[in-house]
Amino acid sequence: MKVKFKGEYTPLSENIKEKDHLGKYIVVDSKMNEIKSDDLKGIKIILTVPSVDTSVCSRELAKFIDILKNETITILSVSMDLPFALDRWCQSHASENIVTASDFRYHDFSDASGLLMPEIGLFSRSVLLVDENDMVRYLEIVEDVSNEPDYEKVMEQLQLLKKSA
């Protein structure tokens, strides 16, 4: 699959599909603590973004925080940003309902998901809705990285997943 980055198409790694199980991974949070995939229980929304330092990524994270504020699910944002950039973003936003994490150290999440743009070294803009058994129940890979995901579709799929749980 290819996505558009700065007007040019670039390939993704071999990306995960709906109904695949997300492999094990370790990412690093904004305080340099490791987060293992086994630490995250229940339903999760995992957002991959190129960088929290861009306006589109920052806006996306803020919107997900807002629309999911009454939900009891984990929101995990994964990028290749250094933890210092993640911490700076968290300090300037109401970030208590989201876990910002980086894959810079181990590249485990990029290996597990295949959502990295390897020629660029950044993640594509993607949303994964993952159930309590780590099965991907919904996946949106935004074709043009400069666009935001379909928030309504994500919420619709989340409600369907919660009803089936």
Q: Judge contact between 99 and 69, C-beta under 8 A.
A: no
Q: Is the dihedral of CA 142, 158, 62, 41 positive or negative?
A: negative
pLDDT recorded at residue 13: 85
Decide if 90 is catalytic. no
pLDDT tens across 62-96, in order? 999 999 999 989 999 999 999 999 999 999 988 88
pLDDT < 70: residue spans in the chain: none
Tell me, what's the pLDDT at 80?
A: 98
Selecting among 57, 115, 127, 141, the annotated active-site residue is 57
C-alpha to C-alpha distance for 93 and 61, rounded to whole angstroms = 10
CATH code matching the domain that covers 2-164, chosen among 3.40.30.10, 3.90.1170.40, 3.40.50.300, 3.20.20.70: 3.40.30.10
DSSP classification of residue 50: S
pTM of the model: 0.96
Q: What is the pLDDT of residue 94?
A: 81
**What was the pLDDT predicted at 96?**
84
Strands 44-48 and 126-130: antiparallel
Name the burial class of residue 36, with classes exposed (0-12), middle (13-18) and buried (19+) by CB atoms within 10 angstroms of its CB: exposed
123 vs 10: CA distance, rounded Å: 11
Q: What is the rounded CA–CA span in Å between residue 107 and residue 78?
A: 11
Q: Domain ranges in the chain?
A: 2-164
Q: What is the pLDDT at residue 165?
A: 72
d(CA 22, CA 111): 10
